[in-house]
Amino acid sequence: MARQFDAVLIGAGHNTLAAALHLSANGWRVGVFEQATVAGGAVKTGEYTLPGFRHDWAAMNLSLFAGSAFFKAYGAELGQHGCAFVPVNRPFSSSFLDGSWVGVSTDMAETTAAIRALSPRDAATWETLVSRFGAEAPHLFGLLGAPMNFRALAYFMFKTLRAKGVGGTLDLGRFLLSSPRAWLEETFEHPHVRALLGAWGMHLDFAPDVAGGAMFPYLEGMAGQAFGMVIGQGGADTVTRSLVAAITARGGVVETGVSVARIIHSGGRATGVELADGRKIDATRAVIAGVAPRALPRLTGGTTPAFDTAMGNFRHAPGTMMIHLALDGLPDWRAGAALQSHAYVHIAPSLDQMARTYAQAQAGMLPDEPILVVGQPTVFDPSRAPEGKHVLWVQVRMAPGTIAGDAKGEITATDWAQAAEPFANRALAILEAHAPGTRAKILGQRIVTPLELEADNPNLIGGDQVCGSHHLSQHFLFRPLRGHADGSTPIQNLHLTGAAVWPGAGTGAGSGFLLAQKLA
């Protein structure tokens, strides 16, 4: 006899786990089935280099989760199951080879002093933006947190028009359509300040000249100033472990190390799943698939030609390589010891360099000068390493999932098994140029290629950590497809969730929570 649940969820990423917890809290019996041996998808932590050094596998910044509507509803319960955060007062900075740096701190005077050292005019602009953020934030966060349907959008437009008038609403619309470069160049004069904020666009596949990306550098800058950053105490897996524990405590089941072979449906209605080991699991009310869109037609065997074609055509961002380092000490940054006190140090020297790197990766080339996001979590959470030691979390952006060649003409390998080490050495040489002596401090190292990221989590296709480009044609009403931004599919009771569904990537659990609220 098949095992039976009200809802069967495929994958144990934070969106499916959030959905499972909300449904459990509303009386549903849920079963979550994850192909990996550890739940969490990209939000997990392990000793990937040496014993005692805990590294976040992919996601490190948990600010979106800590500030989410889901955590507001379930934070106390998750806290009872061990979820704990560490506040970060210096969230991010950028290092430059001319010996300068600029960064954001929750101390307004400290931030403006760093910007003023480059440009007094830009410091004044920053103060103006911060003073206006309280008035702008409700509109932007209201949009990003709303269900993406015409009714919700109409209500958003009505509130915005009433608050900002026609002119202000049109200005907001122009801003939402602007590229990072367009907004940054008309707002700031110093190229280093532009680079500081422009680096955030690259986290969500918004190179400097991609329309629709201006919002993300703005929001990350303003939120970093106002709230700082949040990381997990002991590691990002504090979120995953507490979600699993809370679901289990409510009678739900989270099973890892088991793949779903197919979604069972008949008469246009999903009724369960079949696992790779042959077991059949019945779902009386819903099957929720936390998978990349192109996996859905394979699991269903087909829905409608138009929907399946759109799922297959869903576009993914360039990949990422991760380099996990166990260090004997923090990097000695050339630009100054102040950089040792920031959670993130971006090495992305200019908008032009970011645009070039992105274009190279999009063409399948190993970039000649990849962008580095250097995470220093042990500055704020020393429990992640033995006393006096540190972990370094290095994202290498961008990196093509399939290698067509090397933009620098040095690496001849076109498969990641052979290209990983020389490309990682290129990234570490960039780090060494900004922080001489770092290589001598390395006690242990683990390189994770884009293909390894995908093998561990099939949703990260080609190492795409955001599970799909957020360009305008694939965002808002169109994520993942017009008419299906709520995760619905042509099969009744079958729903899609995860970063490929509105509101998209990040750790905010938005798609899972919105879907569960609709179903419950």
| Whole-number pLDDT of residue 348 | 97
Average pLDDT over residues 298-307: 96
Distances (CA, A) of 199 to 120, 132, 203: 21, 22, 7
- Assign 170 a pLDDT band (cuts: 50, 70, 90): confident
Taking only the tens place, the pLDDT of each residue in 12-30 is: 999 999 999 999 999 999 9
| DSSP symbol at 440 | G
92: how many CB neighbours lie within 10 A of its CB? 26
| CA–CA separation, 442 and 89 (whole Å) | 26
Q: Is 3-43+60-86+235-314+458-519 in CATH node 3.50.50.60? A: yes
Burial class of residue 347 (count of CB atoms within 10 Å of its CB; 0-12, 13-18, 19+): buried
Q: What would the mean pLDDT of 474-479 be, rounded to a whole number?
A: 91
Q: In this model, does residue 180 exceed pLDDT 70?
A: yes
Q: Report pLDDT for 290.
A: 98
Q: Which residues in 276-386 belong to E strands, given as ranges?
A: 280-289, 319-327, 344-347, 365-366, 371-375
With 80 as the cut, is the pLDDT of residue 158 above it?
no
Question: Between 412 and 166, whose confidence is greater?
Answer: 412
Q: Is 267 helix (H, G, I), strand (E, B) or coil?
A: coil
pLDDT at 159: 79
Whether 97 shows a pLDDT value over 90: the answer reads yes
pLDDT tens digits for range 52-83: 999 999 999 999 999 999 999 999 999 999 99
Q: What is the DSSP letter of 511?
A: H
pTM of the shown model? 0.95
Evaluate if residue 374 carries a pLDDT over 70: yes
Average pLDDT, the chain: 95
With 0-12 / 13-18 / 19 or more C-beta atoms within 10 angstroms meaning exposed / middle / buried, residue 470 is buried
- What one-letter code names the amino acid at 144? L
- Is 280 a residue whose pLDDT tops 70? yes
Higher pLDDT, 12 or 144: 12
Q: Is 431 exposed, middle or buried (0-12, 13-18, 19+ CB in 10 A)?
A: buried
- CB atoms near residue 187 (< 10 Å): 18
Residues 278 and 264: beta-carbon distance below 8 Å = no
The residue behind tokens 């932007």 is 140
pLDDT at 114 over 90: yes
Do residues 307 and 328 lie in contact, with contact meaning Cβ atoms separated by under 8 Å?
Answer: no
- pLDDT tens digit string along 477-494? 899 999 999 999 999 999
How many whole angstroms separate alpha carbon 399 and alpha carbon 468? Answer: 15
Quick: pLDDT tens for 226-239.
Answer: 999 999 999 999 99
- Amino acid 145: pLDDT: 79
Q: 143 pLDDT exceeds 90?
A: no
DSSP state of 265: E
Tally Cβ neighbours within 10 Å of residue 130: 16
- The ranges of the chain annotated as CATH 3.50.50.60 are 3-43+60-86+235-314+458-519
Residue bearing tokens 């993130």: 344
Over residues 335-352, the pLDDT tens digits come to 999 999 999 999 999 999
Residue 1, pLDDT score: 62
**Distance from C-alpha of 37 to C-alpha of 52, rounded to nearest angstrom:** 21
CA atoms within 13 Å, Cβ hemisphere of 306: 6
Per-residue confidence at 430, pLDDT binned at 50, 70, 90? very high
Three-class DSSP labels, 52-114: CCCEECCCCCCHHHHCCHHHHHHHHHHHHCCCCEEEECCCEEEECCCCCEEEECCCHHHHHHH
Residue type, 371: I
Chain centroid to Cα 448, Å, comes to 17
Six token digits for residue 499: 């970063």
